[in-house]
Structure 1
Amino acid sequence: MGIRLSFHPGQYVNPGSPDPRVVERSLAELRYSARALTLLGAEDGVLVLHLGGAYGDRGRALRRFVENLRGEGEVLRYLALENDERLWPVEEVLEAAEALGVPVVVDTLHHALNPGRLTLEEALRLAFPTWRGRPKAHLASQDPSKRPGAHAFQVSEEDWERLLKALPGPADLMVEAKGKEKGLPQGALALGGAKGGGRA
């Protein structure tokens, strides 16, 4: 049906944890998800994961994350790493992704809250070449009544337009909004005419 499947394991899946029990459970969850994508024949499926905690030593946490995933062939086939709103900006996610040979998903809301040294345009321009196929990005807006990083019911027109201007080329866009299919802004309904194209 032309639908690209994505899995996004929760925050407790953390292969970079210093606790071996957490690593073991995290890898089991990731293997399960990757196996499901394989059994579904989802060739362009994506298994999206955050880097998790820094545990007081960012460099060591990053190295542990990479080492614990390095031998996971089926997981790495689908894995894409995503920036987050507190700890890991796109530039550091790119470092881990390069070490593992996997792509980077740029989340617009997380980037707005934790941009590091990159503009949205720069982040997307660096992330897109990490994809072997069509790149993927996440689009979300902040819920003004909740903690930073909480998704709004609907993506704002302003955030939609900002992403369109920043896209360096065609991409699949995942809309993360509490309103689900009602989460698209009105301007997004004409996706075929959007700069760079896009599918939601």
Structure 2
Amino acid sequence: MDLTTPVPPTRSDAPLKVAVILGSNREGRFGPVVADWFLGRAAGHPGIEARPVDVAETEPPGARDAGGVPLLAWADAFVVVTPEYNHSYPAPLKSLIDRHFAEWQAKPVAFVSYGGVSGGLRAVEHLRQVFAELHATTVRDTVSFHRAGALFDDRGRPKDPGPVDGAAKRMLDQLVWWGRALRDARTRHPYGS
């Protein structure tokens, strides 16, 4: 073997492809601020290749990404960025989830939530039940922004980044662990076979 020739990464070493799903399409939504912040954290995490998926831009059934791949099919793992509306999550997010089935199976899902007093945590609890039914594995740790509008400056940066950056790192570490383990398992033995 020529040691000067780089060895291509094995499947288990390949970057984890993470779809970061922005779950609200409301006019004047705060979600893009939270999603942009999170995408910055994901970009700095080794082993992750993150792409945004915005429910406001993916409403038609059969939507595909810029490369023509069916929406979400390319992802090894998911992060759902969701607000809390009426003690639950938004209807466009439910629609996106329900339009897909195999894409979620045997893959990890993590959550970044935002809202008022609860910080979107009630939405996350509802989503955990939905993803369990779809045979997905949810990551235990989350990132939650209570009274989110007051926590970011006018440039979209957290006013006190330490705690939320730490929470994002812990969650991403768990997502990478689960994502790699489940990707390797699906490669060895396809789920449901």
TM band (smaller chain): 0.3 to 0.5
Q: Which has the higher helix share?
A: 1
The alignment's TM-score, normalised by the length of structure 2, stands at 0.39
The alignment's TM-score, normalised by the length of structure 1, stands at 0.38
